[in-house]
Amino acid sequence: MCLAIPALIKAIKDKEAEVEIGGITRRASLWLTPEAKVGDYVLLHTGYAINIIDQEEAKETLGLLEEIAKLAEEE
């Protein structure tokens, strides 16, 4: 039930956003993430953005995983 999926904010009006999820457009409430901006990716759970995805952290995590894969290969 705690499923949440990444959604891209395309437009914002008051506390509501238009978001895109893999090509599908939906409306999402920003009551829980009032600081969200157009262009942010948010975690969407039952119609509400519950967090803004930290894109820097995402990049760092992937970089780390790539490094782990490279090191594991060498050993």
Partner 1 sequence: MKFVDEYRRSDLAQGLLRRIHQNSTRKARFMEFCGGHTVSILKHGIRQLLPPTIEMLSGPGCPVCVTDNSDLDKAIALAKLPGIILTTFGDMLKVPGSRSSLQEVKADGANVRIVYSTMDALQIARGNPAMSVVFLGIGFETTAPTVAASILQAEQEEIKNYYVLCLHKLCPPVIKALLDSGEVKLSGLICPGHVSAIIGSKPWEFIARDYGLPCVVSGFEPLDVLQGIDMLVAQIESGEAKVEIAYRRGVHPEGNCAALKLVDKVFEACPARWRGIGVVPNSGLKFRREFERFDAELAFEFDPGPTSEAKGCICGDILRGVKTPPECKLFAKVCTPERPIGPCMVSSEGSCAAHFLYGATYE
Q: Which alpha helices (DSSP H) does the chain contain, by range?
A: 55-74
What is d(CA 35, CA 25) in angstroms, rounded to the nearest whole number?
A: 21
Task: Name the residue nearer to partner 1 (CB basis): 13 or 57.
Answer: 57
- What is the binding site for partner 1 (CB under 8 A)? 1-6, 8, 21-22, 27, 29, 31-35, 41, 43, 45-48, 50-51, 53-55, 57-58, 60-62, 65-66, 68-73, 75
What is d(CA 42, CA 24) in angstroms, rounded to the nearest whole number?
A: 15
Distance of closest approach, residue 31 Cβ to partner 1, in angstroms = 4
